[in-house]
Structure 1
Amino acid sequence: MTDKIVPVIMAGGKGTRLWPLSRASAPKQFLEFLGDKTLFQKTLERVSDPALYEQPIVVTNADFRFLVAEQARSAGVELKSIVLEPVARNTAPALAVAALITAAAFGEDAIMQVLASDHEITADSVYFDCIRKAREAAEAGRLVTFGITPTEPATGYGYIEIGDPLSSGAHAVKRFVEKPDRDRAEEMLASGNYLWNSGMFMLPVGPFLKELRVHASAVVEAVGDALAKAERDLDFERLDAEAFARAPDISVDYAVFEKTPIAAVVPSPITWSDLGSWDSVWKLGKHDEQGNVSDGRATLLDTRNSLVLSKDIHVAVQGLDDLAVIASEDAVYVGRLEDSQSVGKMVKHLAAIAETAKLTETHRTSYRPWGGYTSVLNGDRFQVKRLFVTPGKRLSLQKHHHRSEHWIVVRGTAEVTIGTKTVPLRENESVYIPQGEVHRLANPGKILLELIEVQTGSYLGEDDIIRIEDEFGRH
C-alpha cells in the first residue's frame, strides 16, 4: 500500500524527427537541446518530490538500459525499477507491465502517473493543480488522460472532445479524434470543446487492469507471462522476449481509452510540447530581438526567426530567415522551419543509402555503461578515439585478436591492467597494449577520465572484443 503516486516513465522511443541530433541509438529523450539537462532528466525532476511520489518505474528499450541508469544516477534520482522491453510493442503492453509491477509492489489501490520521457513541460503551480485534479478523478475510479489546451490548429496531434464535468475538475471523455486536416483542426479550435491528446495519464491500477482484461485480454496475458518469466539483470528487469513478442502492437488509446466508459480528461492549460519537430523546439526557445533561437557555437548576422544549434563545429548564418540549421558532430541539417515536420522523409532517404545509413543510426559519440567514446579519425589500419570514463567505473577485462592500442591520458588518473600487472597512469603519460594481451581500463579518481586511444591493426571493428570479465553483464 502507498498513499503516494507511482510514476511510470516511458523511455523506449527511437524517433528520429529531431535528426541529426536524435538518432536510433540516442533518441531525443536522452539528449540536451536547450540547456544542460536531457528531456529524460527533466522528466525525473518532475516526479522527484518524495512527499508526492514513490520512486519511478522506467520502461525502456533494452538498447537504452545504460543510458537510463547513468542519466538517473547523474540526476541524483533513485529508480524503483528499469523494465527492459525486448521488442517494441507500443503503449498498451508497456503500461500493462507497469500496472502489474505496481500492483505487486503497492496493491491494486495504487495510483500510477504515466509520463513520456521526451516532453518539455513547465512544472509550475498550474501543472501541479492539474496533477491534483487527475489524482482525485483517478481515486474515484476514472482512467484519466491530460488534455492540453490548444494554442493553434495543429494537425500533428490527436484531439479529445470533452464531455460532462466531474466533481474533481476533470471531464468525462466524449470521444477521441484522429489527427485532423487543417480545416477540421480550425473548426475544433474555434468550438472550444477539444483538447490535444498529450499521451500522459493518471491511472488507478485495479480499474485499469480490469479494463485491459475486458478490452485487450491478449495484452494482459502475454505481458503477464513475460513478467513471470523475466530475469533480473543487475538493476534491470529483462522481460521474456518470446512471451512479450506475443503481445499485440497496440496503443493504450486504441486498446482501452476509446472503448472504456470510465475515461476522463483533465483540461491542462500548461506549457507543453512533445518536441516533435525543430519548429516546436524554436517555439519553446528563448528568442532574441530578431526572433532567433540559438544554442552552442553559432553566429547569426542579418538572420531572423531561425533556429541554429551546434554542439561541436562553429556555425555562421547570414542573411537568411525562417530556417532550421542543426549541426551535430558528423552531419548538418538545413531546412525551412515550416517544413521541419518532414525531417522524417530525409531520414528515410538517408537510411536507404548504404553510404549514409549510419548517419541515422549512431553518432560519432557512443555511450557505454562506463562512459563512452568519440570517433576522432579513421584511416587504413588505424583509428583514433577519445575515451571518457565516469569516476569509479571500469571497462571489461578484455582482449583483441586483430588490433593493438595506445592510450594517452589527457585528464584525470587511469588504472591500467595489462596481463597480471596493474599500473597507475596520470596526465600526459601513455601505455601500449599489444595485440592479444588481456587488459582493462578503470577510473579510480573523482573526476572524469579522458584519454586518446590510437588503434592499429588489420581489423578495427567493435566486435573484436573478447570479454573475459564484465560487471555490466555483457558478453
Structure 2
Amino acid sequence: MNPLIPIVLSGGAGTRLWPVSREGHPKPFMKLPDGQSLLAKTYLRAMGGDHVADVLTITNRDYYFSSKDEFNRVVEQSSCNVKGSFLLEPFGRNTAPAIALGALWARELHGPGATLLVLPSDHLIQDARAFHANVREAVVAAGEGQLVTFGIPAASPETGFGYIEGGETLGTGLARGIRRFTEKPSLAKAQEFVASGNYFWNSGMFCFTADTLLEELAAHAPQMHQALMACWENTWQASDDKWRVLEIDAQTFGDVPDLSIDYAVMEHSSRGVVVPAAFDWSDIGSWNALGALLPEDEQGNRTQGDTVLIKASNNLIQSEDRLVAVLGVDHLVIVDTPDALLVAHKDHVQDVRQVVTELRTMGHDCYRTHRTVSRPWGTYTVLEEGSRFKIKRLEVRPGAALSLQMHHYRSEHWIVVSGVAKVINGEREIDINTNESTYIPAGHKHRLLNPGVVDLVLIEVQSGDYLGEDDIVRFDDHYGRV
C-alpha cells in the first residue's frame, strides 16, 4: 500500500460565526459544546485512517502555533504515534495552490505514489467508522489514477453549497463518474437538483496521488503549475528542532493564480470521480448549525453557559463568562463574549458576516481579535483599557519566553501573580517571585521568561501616549518573528 498522507487545511475567517470566530481565532479553533475544536476533530479523523504515514497541516503562518498546540493535544490524548508537518502560507491563496504545494511536499518526502487525503478543518463528521470506510473506497480509486471528491447527498436545496451531478457507477465500488459541477445555484435550481436525487453537495474533501494531481494541474492550469514549481524551489525549512516546518516564499507565492482546486483542475479533468458519503457531514456554517449540537429544552431553547429563560422559546443562547437572562422573546440567537454581544433573529444568521464587514470598515478590533489573544509563548487578556493606560493578564507557558523587545511610547509595570519570572531589563537580569513586581521604562530592551515548570501568571500595567500592539521593536525571538 502507498502511504496515506492526510493534508489538513487550517484557517479561514468563519465570519458567520462571529463573535466567537474571528480573523485571529477562526472557526477551526472554536470549541464545540463537547470542549473539542473542529481542528482537533479533523486531526483525530486524519490519524485514524489506514497506513497514515504523516499528517501535513497547511495554514497561515499566524495560525502555526495554535495549530501545533491542537495537534499536540490530540496526539497526547489519543496516544497516536503519527508525525506532524506544517507548510506555512504567508497569506491566503485559495485551495489549488495550497493542495498542489502539499502534493509537491508529499512527492518529495514520500514518493510520487503517496496518496493524499485533503481535509478542510472546519467540517464536523461524527460517524468516524463510515467516514473511514468511504476513505478506503477513495484510496482504491486514487490508486487507479482517479481524482476523487467526496459528495454529500443533497438533502435540502442549499444555495450556499457547490453541487456535483453524479454519473455512472464505476466498477464494483461506490465511485461514480462526474457529469458536471455547479457552483452555488439559485434556489429554483437547487430544488431541481435535490428532487432529481442525483446531485451531491461538494464537500471540499479529496483523495488522489501526488503525481496524478500534479499531472492534471500541469495539463489544465499550466500557468499555475509553472508558478508553483518556482514557488516550491524557493520554499525553505524553518527553524524548529521538533517539527518539519516549511515556509512558503512570499514573493513567488504572490505570483501564483488565486484559484480553487475545483476551478483549476476538477471541473476540467476527465479523471474526476465522486464517492457518495455514507457519513454525516456539516460545515457548521451558521449559528443555527452550531446550536443544533446543543440539547433542546421543552420550549425549543438551546443554551450553553449561565442562562435564565422566562417565557422564551426556540432561542439559541451562548454565554462565556456572565449570566444572560431573556424574557418574552423567541427565535433569537444571542451570543455573549467578553467584548462583543450578538443578538440576531434566527432567520438572519447567514447575514452575520455583514456585521464583520462593517466592523472591518470601522477599523474596530472586534472583527479581528478577542480580549484573550494566543501567542506562541502563551496568552494575554486585556482586562481594562482607557486613556493612557491598559491592563493585561499574561500567562506564559513553562520554558517559554517573550521576544527581546523595546517600546517607544509606553512603559510597563509587571506584577507576578503566580510562578517565577526571569526578567531582562536593560543590562540587568533578575528573578521576580510571586507578589513581587518590576518596572520597564519606555525605550528599554527587555524580555520576560518563564524558567519554571508551571504557568507564569502576571499582571501588566501599560502607561503612555500610545498603547497599540504595533509599538514593538523585536531584537531576538525564539519563534521566528524578528
Give the shorter-chain TM-score range: over 0.9
8 Å Cα contact 2:53-2:83 kept in structure 1: no
1:359 aligns with 366
- 425-434 or 31-40, which deviates more: 425-434
Counterpart among 267, 276, 279 of residue 288 in structure 2: 279
CA RMSD, 1 decimal: 2.0
1:291 aligns with 300
8 Å Cα contact 1:417-1:423 kept in structure 2: yes
1:205 aligns with 210
1:130-141 correspondence to structure 2 within 5 Å = 130-141=134-145
- 401-410 or 133-142, which deviates more: 401-410
Report the 3-state secondary structure (helix = DSSP H, G, I; strand = E; otherwise coil) of the residue aligned with 1:352.
helix
1:36-185 correspondence to structure 2 within 5 Å = 36-49=35-48, 52-76=51-75, 80-166=84-170, 167-185=172-190
Instruction: Return the alpha-carbon distance in structure 2 between the equivalents of residues 349 and 454 of structure 1.
Output: 31
Counterpart among 194, 207, 215 of residue 220 in structure 2: 215
Instruction: Return the alpha-carbon distance in structure 2 between the equivalents of residues 73 and 125 of structure 1.
Output: 23
Counterpart among 300, 305, 317 of residue 314 in structure 2: 305
2:198 aligns with 193
8 Å Cα contact 2:162-2:202 kept in structure 1: yes
Q: Gaps (5+ residues) in structure 1? A: none
- 120-129 or 247-256, which deviates more: 120-129
| Cα distance change on mapping 1:298 and 1:79 into 2, 3 Å | farther
Instruction: Return the alpha-carbon distance in structure 2 between the equivalents of residues 150 and 198 of structure 1.
Output: 11
CA deviations 1:416-445 (Å, max 9, x no partner) are: 333444443343332222333332212233
1:410 aligns with 417
- 83-92 or 396-405, which deviates more: 396-405
Instruction: Return the alpha-carbon distance in structure 2 between the equivalents of residues 414 and 72 of structure 1.
Output: 28
- 313-322 or 45-54, which deviates more: 45-54
CA deviations 1:103-144 (Å, max 9, x no partner) are: 111111110000001111114221111111111111121110
Instruction: Return the alpha-carbon distance in structure 2 between the equivalents of residues 171 and 50 of structure 1.
Output: 22
2:229 aligns with 224
Instruction: Return the alpha-carbon distance in structure 2 between the equivalents of residues 462 and 69 of structure 1.
Output: 24
8 Å Cα contact 2:71-2:84 kept in structure 1: no
Deviation at 1:40, TM superposition (A): 1.2
Instruction: Return the alpha-carbon distance in structure 2 between the equivalents of residues 261 and 18 of structure 1.
Output: 37
8 Å Cα contact 1:13-1:61 kept in structure 2: no
1:353-392 correspondence to structure 2 within 5 Å = 353-354=362-363, 357-392=364-399
2:79 aligns with none
1:393 aligns with 400
| Cα distance change on mapping 1:185 and 1:27 into 2, 3 Å | same
| Cα distance change on mapping 1:348 and 1:11 into 2, 3 Å | same
CA deviations 1:237-278 (Å, max 9, x no partner) are: 121222111111111111111111111111113221111111
| Cα distance change on mapping 1:76 and 1:427 into 2, 3 Å | farther
1:10-21 correspondence to structure 2 within 5 Å = 10-21=9-20
Report the 3-state secondary structure (helix = DSSP H, G, I; strand = E; otherwise coil) of the residue aligned with 2:319.
strand
Instruction: Return the alpha-carbon distance in structure 1 between the equivalents of residues 225 and 297 of structure 2.
Output: 51
| Cα distance change on mapping 1:297 and 1:413 into 2, 3 Å | farther
1:315-334 correspondence to structure 2 within 5 Å = 315-334=324-343
Instruction: Return the alpha-carbon distance in structure 1 between the equivalents of residues 182 and 406 of structure 2.
Output: 57
Report the 3-state secondary structure (helix = DSSP H, G, I; strand = E; otherwise coil) of the residue aligned with 1:7.
strand
Amino acid at match of 1:16: T
CA deviations 1:333-352 (Å, max 9, x no partner) are: 11112211111122222322
Instruction: Return the alpha-carbon distance in structure 1 between the equivalents of residues 51 and 312 of structure 2.
Output: 46
Q: How many residues align?
A: 472
Instruction: Return the alpha-carbon distance in structure 1 between the equivalents of residues 75 and 429 of structure 2.
Output: 32
TM-score (norm 2): 0.92
Instruction: Return the alpha-carbon distance in structure 2 between the equivalents of residues 195 and 50 of structure 1.
Output: 24
Deviation at 1:179, TM superposition (A): 1.5
Amino acid at match of 1:184: K
Instruction: Return the alpha-carbon distance in structure 2 between the equivalents of residues 372 and 118 of structure 1.
Output: 23
Amino acid at match of 1:57: L
| Cα distance change on mapping 1:74 and 1:390 into 2, 3 Å | farther
Q: Gaps (5+ residues) in structure 2? A: 77-81
Deviation at 1:214, TM superposition (A): 0.4
| Cα distance change on mapping 1:392 and 1:290 into 2, 3 Å | farther
8 Å Cα contact 1:365-1:373 kept in structure 2: yes
Instruction: Return the alpha-carbon distance in structure 2 between the equivalents of residues 94 and 79 of structure 1.
Output: 20
| Cα distance change on mapping 1:337 and 1:440 into 2, 3 Å | same
Report the 3-state secondary structure (helix = DSSP H, G, I; strand = E; otherwise coil) of the residue aligned with 2:262.
helix
| Cα distance change on mapping 1:300 and 1:29 into 2, 3 Å | same
Report the 3-state secondary structure (helix = DSSP H, G, I; strand = E; otherwise coil) of the residue aligned with 2:177.
strand
8 Å Cα contact 1:72-1:79 kept in structure 2: no
Report the 3-state secondary structure (helix = DSSP H, G, I; strand = E; otherwise coil) of the residue aligned with 1:273.
coil
Deviation at 1:95, TM superposition (A): 0.9
Amino acid at match of 2:48: D
Amino acid at match of 2:23: A
- 205-214 or 449-458, which deviates more: 449-458
Instruction: Return the alpha-carbon distance in structure 2 between the equivalents of residues 292 and 446 of structure 1.
Output: 44
Amino acid at match of 1:339: H
Amino acid at match of 2:443: G
| Cα distance change on mapping 1:135 and 1:22 into 2, 3 Å | same
| Cα distance change on mapping 1:397 and 1:318 into 2, 3 Å | same
Report the 3-state secondary structure (helix = DSSP H, G, I; strand = E; otherwise coil) of the residue aligned with 1:68.
helix
Deviation at 1:50, TM superposition (A): 7.5
TM-score (norm 1): 0.94
**Mapped pair 1:349 → 2:325:** no
Instruction: Return the alpha-carbon distance in structure 1 between the equivalents of residues 309 and 188 of structure 2.
Output: 36
8 Å Cα contact 2:142-2:207 kept in structure 1: yes
Instruction: Return the alpha-carbon distance in structure 2 between the equivalents of residues 301 and 136 of structure 1.
Output: 56
8 Å Cα contact 1:413-1:425 kept in structure 2: yes
Identity of aligned residues (%): 43
1:450-469 correspondence to structure 2 within 5 Å = 450-469=457-476
Report the 3-state secondary structure (helix = DSSP H, G, I; strand = E; otherwise coil) of the residue aligned with 2:342.
strand
1:233-272 correspondence to structure 2 within 5 Å = 233-235=238-240, 236-272=245-281
CA deviations 1:378-419 (Å, max 9, x no partner) are: 122211001111222111122333322222222333333334
